[in-house]
Structure 1
Amino acid sequence: MSVIAVAAAPHVRELFLDPGTAAALRRLGEVRLPADGADVGDEAVLARLLADADVVVTGWGTAPLTAAVLAAAPRLRLLAHTGAGVKPFVTPESFARGVRVTQAGDAMAYAVGEQALALTLAMLHRLHRFDHALRSGADWASAKDAPPRRELRGATVGVVGASRTGRAYLGLVRTFGARVLVADPYLSDAEAVALGVERVGLEELLARSPVLSLHAPVLPETIGMIGAPELALLPDRALLVNTARSALVDETALLAELRTGRIDAALDVFDAEPLPVDHPFRRLPNVLLTPHEAAGTVESRRRAGAIVVAEIDRFLRGRQLAHEVRPEQLARMG
Structure 2
Amino acid sequence: MNKNNLLAILFISVPSVADTLSIVPEIKSGLPAVMNEPVLYQAPQFDYFNLADGYLEQRAEAIAKLPMALSDIERVCIQTSYSGIDHSGIDPSSSDQSGILIYTYAEDNSGNKIHNTTIGDRVNLETVSKHCIDESNWVYDNWLADKSMTFTPYSSSSALITDVRVIIDGELSLSQVPTEFTEQYYDFITKVGFDQSANFYHPDDISGLKDVLVSGLEHNDSSIKFIKNMAFGNTVSKEDIVLMSGLDFMNQFLSILGQASGSNTANLESFKVINVFDHNDKKYVNVEKQERLFGKRITRNEVVILKKYSSQWLLELPESLKNMLDN
Q: Which category describes the TM-score, using the shorter chain as reference length?
A: under 0.3
Scaled by the length of structure 2, the TM-score of the pair is: 0.26
Judging by fraction of residues, say which structure has more helix: 1
Scaled by the length of structure 1, the TM-score of the pair is: 0.25
Higher relative contact order (CA 8 A, sep 6+): 2
Judging by fraction of residues, say which structure has more strand: 2
